[in-house]
């Protein structure tokens, strides 16, 4: 299999997985403001090289970043009101008032939906001609997705938040006369959504530049699938497996697995890969190019779906009745490589071992993933055990879908705990989480990514997501004051001990 130029390996280093929404802030949710910069400063002090985030798109059903209204747009909740106040678009009282009284450890999405958009509308109303040239340039540069997204969101607001499949037929089917009529009628509303994207990307670029200047690179997350209720499906129905009424023929999911006995029924529409192949995967090339501009490296979620995907008939109650179908494989990988030469990619290749997936990943030079929580349940041959790692992989103690280490070992079967204690050479169950963090750092994996919860030793109350469930997920927040010099020194010590300090720091020590 020949992909072309292989991706260069990642330098040996370490990083922290922390979603933006989990950052502390006085805004009810993490933002791109002061606390995000403080976190970048903390990572530098802790000897880290990477900050891994979850998808940054606007969240829809279930508040999941993997069910976004757009594969290209950013989440308006992450726009920092304090920074808007600094521009004179909000008062200090307005910027700090909407989140008072909220639980600093949990995101309240209902309250955010109620309070945040009126605040952003105030800022928009006051923006006038400020940054007019920059805003016009941004809109022109991103017109390919921004025009469709802004109209989609304006229509969603106009129709009371209903999904686009419930809109009147003429606009649901995007008949040209209806599109022009609504675009003219909702021009002020579409301008508001463009303003939100202008501010989102401006604040993110400045935050990323701040982190990069301190030696911290950003790993973003690219979900393989998009939400059915998204601007992407509404504006490009020809790229998806839909019937005449624009409803999915089959939907995405996975068969029964460790998370669910009935499989996971995600409900995303499936791509029409033949249609995408017909125009050289142009939508995917644009998407990958946008991600490469947004991040320093990208984790492709559910990488297996590029080789083969699981199709579940629409209307199924579980994912058990689906079937595997062939995906585009190396054709798509070649297109992605051409769209973003030099961009770092991590392949989320977890799940059932599929030789074709491993061959494609290796041909592209993408590092795969190892997860320590999966390592201790099947004996010494388990490929997630650190003794089997080789350079060219990324090790995680757990992902956003896993329990925290403390929660996992508290609930793990006795046999799993016994094997883990023997493997990690510790006497007590309570010592296992810290031993796993150490094992990840000591391993041969190029990169070790540790969720912030595992550095802090938190239990399952700090879990991010429980797969195959809806409601109560994506809410955990880091309490103010948890990141301190003592923790930074401990993290830096492990990175130094196992050769994971950033390259410039290693060079300084050698001098």
| Of 301, 349, 446, 454, catalytic | 301
| Active site (annotated) includes residue 401 | yes
Question: Strand 308-313's sheet: what is its strand order?
Answer: 264-269, 250-254, 308-313, 323-326
Strands (E) located in 240-353: 250-254, 264-269, 297-300, 308-313, 323-326, 344-347
The C-alpha atoms of residue 137 and residue 198 are separated, in whole angstroms, by 10
| Distance (Å) of CA 170 to CA 175, 179, 323, 476 | 6, 8, 34, 41
CB of 498 within 8 A of CB of 47?
A: no
Determine the 3-state secondary structure of 298 from DSSP.
strand
| Active site (annotated) includes residue 243 | no
| Of 80, 221, 330, 348, catalytic | 348
Give start and end residues of each alpha helix (H) in 258-379. 273-278, 282-294, 304-307, 330-339, 355-364
Question: Count of alpha carbons within 13 Å of 24, Cβ hemisphere only?
Answer: 12
| Active site (annotated) includes residue 454 | no
CB of 79 within 8 A of CB of 32?
A: yes
CB of 366 within 8 A of CB of 345?
A: yes
CA 437 to chain CA centroid, nearest Å: 22
Question: Count of alpha carbons within 13 Å of 145, Cβ hemisphere only?
Answer: 20
| Of 41, 356, 377, 401, catalytic | 401
The catalytic residues are 301, 348, 401
């Amino acid at each position: 299999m020949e992909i072309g130029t292989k991706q260069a390996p990642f330098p040996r280093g370490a990083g922290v997985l922390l979603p933006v929404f989990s950052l502390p802030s006085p805004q009810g949710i993490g933002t791109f403001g002061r606390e995000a910069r403080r976190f970048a400063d903390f990572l530098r002090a802790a000897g880290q090289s990477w900050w891994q985030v979850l998808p940054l798109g606007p969240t829809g059903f279930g508040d999941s970043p993997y069910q976004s209204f757009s594969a290209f747009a950013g989440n308006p909740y992450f726009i920092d009101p304090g920074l808007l106040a600094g521009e004179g678009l909000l008062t200090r009282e307005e910027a700090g008032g909407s989140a008072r009284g909220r639980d600093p450890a949990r995101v309240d999405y209902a309250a955010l939906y109620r309070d945040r958009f009126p605040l952003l509308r105030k800022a928009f109303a006051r923006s006038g001609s400020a940054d007019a040239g920059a805003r016009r340039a941004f809109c022109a540069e991103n017109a390919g997705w921004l025009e469709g997204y802004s109209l989609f969101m304006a229509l969603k607001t106009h129709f009371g938040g209903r999904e686009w499949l419930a809109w009147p037929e003429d606009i649901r089917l995007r008949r040209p006369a209806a599109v022009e009529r609504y675009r003219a009628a909702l021009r002020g509303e579409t301008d508001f959504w463009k303003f939100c994207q202008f501010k989102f990307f401006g604040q993110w670029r400045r935050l990323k530049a701040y982190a990069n200047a301190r030696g911290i690179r950003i790993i973003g997350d690219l979900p393989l699938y998009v939400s059915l209720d998204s601007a992407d499906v509404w504006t490009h129905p020809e790229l998806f497996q839909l019937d005449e009424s624009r409803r999915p023929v089959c939907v995405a999911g996975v068969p029964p697995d460790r998370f669910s006995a009935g499989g996971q029924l995600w409900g995303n529409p499936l791509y029409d890969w033949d249609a995408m192949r017909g125009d050289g995967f142009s939508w995917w090339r644009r998407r990958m190019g946008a991600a490469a501009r947004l991040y320093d490296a990208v984790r492709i979620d559910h990488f297996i779906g590029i080789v083969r995907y699981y199709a579940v008939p629409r209307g199924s109650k579980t994912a058990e009745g689906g079937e595997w179908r062939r995906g585009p494989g190396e054709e798509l990988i070649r297109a992605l490589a051409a769209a973003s030469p030099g961009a770092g990619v991590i392949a989320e290749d977890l799940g059932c071992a599929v030789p074709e997936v491993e061959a494609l990943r290796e041909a592209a030079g993408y590092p795969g993933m190892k997860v320590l929580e999966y390592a201790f349940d099947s004996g010494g041959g388990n490929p997630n055990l650190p003794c089997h790692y080789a350079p060219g992989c990324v090790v995680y103690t757990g992902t956003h879908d896993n329990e925290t280490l403390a929660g996992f070992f508290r609930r793990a079967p006795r046999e799993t705990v016994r094997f883990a204690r023997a493997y990690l050479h510790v006497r007590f169950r309570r010592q296992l989480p810290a031993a796993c963090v150490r094992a990840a750092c000591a391993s041969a994996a190029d990169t070790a990514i540790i969720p912030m919860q595992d550095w802090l030793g938190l239990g399952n109350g700090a879990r991010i997501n429980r797969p195959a469930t809806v409601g109560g997920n994506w809410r955990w927040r880091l309490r103010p004051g948890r990141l301190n010099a003592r923790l930074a020194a401990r993290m830096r010590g492990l990175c130094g001990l196992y050769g994971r300090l950033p390259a410039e720091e290693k060079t300084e020590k050698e001098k």
